[in-house]
Amino acid sequence: MTVSFRFSSAELPAVLSSQDLPLPELYAARLDGELFGLCDGFVVVDQPDHRNQRAAAVLIGQPDRVIAEPHELCVGSSARVRSSGSGWTNVREVVIEPSEIAIVAGLQVTTPLRTIVDLARFAIPFGEREVRIVKAMIAISPIRLSDCRNALSERRNLPNKRRALERLELCTRE
């Protein structure tokens, strides 16, 4: 039996998973070029790329308390949540303030300020690509590098604080 996905993406969730359709059908539609894979989900090819869609894909099957960070997931240190076991994700326990969490399409993600600070603290490597990412995030948000420096300076005993401040200096150069 052949299943056709020739219907409007408006009728579907932004990201499909095995909760929406059987996995063999999703893989078949991907092979037919009607869907593409995004993290652990699938997206209809006629949908434009959007942050809501990426957030939904990253958090498929994760508990509600899990928060999307750049390239990984985190939970507040008091959340007591275990990962769903997705092969590509790593969930780390962090100290995070409610002001560092934004809601995108009903899902929790770190704010641009928290994301920039975490990239500066933890990205390996931190090179031209990461500098471009930080500059692009600053360009599309009301955040300035001085806000990032202040956020780092306000925290005592913050791991990789000095490294982050040095890396943010790289982002001030043209």
Q: What is the pLDDT of residues 54-89, one digit of tens each?
A: 888 888 888 889 998 876 788 888 887 766 655 656
- Is the pLDDT at 174 greater than 60? The verdict is no
Q: Would you mind telling me the total number of residues written for the chain in this entry?
A: 174
Per-domain residue ranges for the chain?
9-56, 63-170
The pLDDT confidence band at residue 1, using thresholds 50, 70 and 90, is: very low
Taking residues 110-128, report their average pLDDT. Answer: 94
CA torsion angle 161 163 165 166 (round to 10): 170
Query: What is the structure's pLDDT at 137?
Result: 93
Q: What is the largest CA-CA distance in the chain?
A: 62
- pLDDT value of residue 109: 93
| pLDDT value at residue 10 | 61
pLDDT above 90 (res 115) = yes
